[in-house]
Structure 1
Amino acid sequence: MTMTIIRPRALVTGASAGIGRVYAEHLARTGHDLVLVARRADRLQALADEFGQAHRVEVEILPADLGTREGVEAVASRLAADPAVDMLINNAGYAARGRVAELDFEALEAMLQVNVLALSRLSSAAMAQMIAAGRGTIINIASGTAFMQMPGNAGYGASKNYVLAFTRHMQLEAEGTGVRVQLLVPGVIATDFHAVAGNDLANFPPERVMSAEDLVVASLRALEMDETICIPSLPEIRDWDAYVEAEARVAAGVSRDRVAPRYHNGG
């Protein structure tokens, strides 16, 4: 009797380069079949050939532009149709920067389509399928800029604040379902992301720049440790805990039946 070996299968967006490529390579190395999503079919096919031969896994390519509704729906349909996809890496995203008074609204809209709407749609499709299966893992990638205010970064920073909040709500809804949801918060990572955004890695002090390899290893290790929030370079997780505690104190005071004393005449 021949036994069929069922391997875990991960779908990775933005898989053709940078963080997405490193995730795909690590997952292939640890025995995951892959569904690789990016715009360029030639790059995806080259990776499929490389990973398939090196790690003896099945690699499917799904060329799709997540900046379009058609591209997003193609990937969402793929997630919804296959219970074997038990991991989603929502990695696709980019930065379109500019001061608010000078915003290029076409560029802003295109970025929000990928960073916000595509991530939300794919998270929804994966969550529904995984809850029904009683298992699965979703990793959503935010950014350290969600905690910072910088001129020219309002649009991108806000898009990653959305990822932060959306994913934390997902984590509450995933409790007790068998689905794990990780929020990954990178700092500056040594990929071509910055060149695409019109910046240069050389503008950052070397001690602030992490390799994509280290980032991905930390994320996957955090899954093993059951850490739902992974901020790879944060020395003490208690700093995140303090952030959440401060947030809870503010939340407790935002809806009351009277204004705070400082707003009364005379203080």
Structure 2
Amino acid sequence: MSDKPAILITGASSGIGATYADRFARRGHDLVLVARDAERLAALADRLRAETGVVVDVLRADLTAEAGLVQVESRLREDRRIGVLVNNAGVAGHGGFLDQDPAAAAALVALNVTAPTRLASAVAPRFVQSGTGTIVNIGSVVGLAPEFGMAVYGATKAFVLFLSQGLQQELGPKGIYIQAVLPAATRTEIWKRSGRDVNALQGVMEVGELVDAALAGFDRRESVTIPPLPDAGQWSAFEAARIAMVPNFAQSRAAERYRASA
């Protein structure tokens, strides 16, 4: 058993989650892997145990179901070895807003919004009590770009970014590190599941490169990591413009441009 904090990763059976598991195992961290596909989880766990010698626990859970969420919440509250939560599980939408089935949209919100919120809420009090801990939330650049035309999916990822930044403001001073990772198109199974051909997309990043970049940001303790963004100054300028607006929001009168002229 490692003396390093254990890592709980959701959506760990493939893609970004499985790659995070591989990278953290090679750093010497024990793992708790969460996903619905027990067979694939078991195969990944067996490989990582054999290759790295770390302890790997498998937790089969459907995070869109109450029972699954409660199961993972309990593990996060009770297992004091876990010092890092990687909220990776997610799903993408298919088609425009008018094409989406309401039930599918609700399931998307449940997995992309409700699950990471509840899991962060389960582990945060324990992290604060100990004065240390990390929550990594996997968002998307789509949450910054309504022009991409993925309204519900983009809205869930905008939520993930805001949640991460809000938690960093609240929990950062208590010793907790929060990282939001914003990938662009990445070669994972999420595209096939949403009915899209990843080979028809431009600028698709390989999953290993994405996770390695995210971990570079993790090591630097970045609050927001955007692996495909070439110019970090653009994000800094974006944030500076947003922060400059904040003091102007507290006004007792509507802005002059909205008041009818006398």
TM-score for the superposition, normalised by structure 1: 0.93
Q: Per the alignment, in what secondary structure is the counterpart of residue 161 of structure 1?
A: helix
CA contact (8 A) 2:139 2:161 kept: yes
Q: Per the alignment, in what secondary structure is the counterpart of residue 237 of structure 2?
A: helix
1:87-98 equivalences under 5 Å are 87-98=84-95
Does 1:217 pair with 2:212? yes
Q: Per the alignment, in what secondary structure is the counterpart of residue 174 of structure 2?
A: coil
Q: Where do 5+ consecutive residues of structure 1 fail to align? A: none
Q: Per the alignment, in what secondary structure is the counterpart of residue 189 of structure 1?
A: coil
Which residue does the alignment assign to 2:103?
106
Please give the alpha-carbon distance, in whole angstroms, between the structure 2 residues aligned to 1:242 and 1:198. 36
Q: Per the alignment, in what secondary structure is the counterpart of residue 119 of structure 1?
A: helix
1:109-120 equivalences under 5 Å are 109-120=106-117
CA contact (8 A) 1:8 1:31 kept: no
CA contact (8 A) 2:140 2:184 kept: yes
1:236-251 equivalences under 5 Å are 236-251=231-246
CA contact (8 A) 1:83 1:133 kept: no
Q: How large is the Cα RMSD of the aligned pairs?
A: 1.7
Q: Per the alignment, in what secondary structure is the counterpart of residue 173 of structure 2?
A: coil
Q: CA deviation at 1:51?
A: 0.5
Q: CA deviation at 1:233?
A: 1.8
Instruction: Note the alpha carbon deviations across 1:32-71, whole angstroms, 9 max, x for none.
Output: 1110000011111111111001100111000000010110
Please give the alpha-carbon distance, in whole angstroms, between the structure 2 residues aligned to 1:254 and 1:118. 31
Q: Per the alignment, in what secondary structure is the counterpart of residue 13 of structure 2?
A: coil
Cα 1:5–1:70, aligned 2, differ >3 Å: closer, same or farther? closer
Which residue does the alignment assign to 1:204?
201
Cα 1:49–1:151, aligned 2, differ >3 Å: closer, same or farther? closer
Q: Where do 5+ consecutive residues of structure 2 fail to align? A: none
1:1-267 equivalences under 5 Å are 6-150=3-147, 152-205=149-202, 208-265=203-260
Q: Per the alignment, in what secondary structure is the counterpart of residue 210 of structure 1?
A: coil
CA contact (8 A) 1:93 1:114 kept: yes
CA contact (8 A) 1:98 1:104 kept: no
Please give the alpha-carbon distance, in whole angstroms, between the structure 1 residues aligned to 2:132 and 2:148. 42
Q: In the alignment, residue 32 of structure 1 is paired with which amino acid? A: H
Q: CA deviation at 1:251?
A: 2.9
Please give the alpha-carbon distance, in whole angstroms, between the structure 2 residues aligned to 1:237 and 1:174. 25
Instruction: Note the alpha carbon deviations across 1:145-178, whole angstroms, 9 max, x for none.
Output: 0111147511111010110111100101122322
Q: In the alignment, residue 121 of structure 1 is paired with which amino acid? A: R
Please give the alpha-carbon distance, in whole angstroms, between the structure 2 residues aligned to 1:161 and 1:32. 30
Q: In the alignment, residue 252 of structure 1 is paired with which amino acid? A: P
Please give the alpha-carbon distance, in whole angstroms, between the structure 1 residues aligned to 2:214 and 2:123. 19
Q: CA deviation at 1:78?
A: 0.2
CA contact (8 A) 2:135 2:179 kept: yes
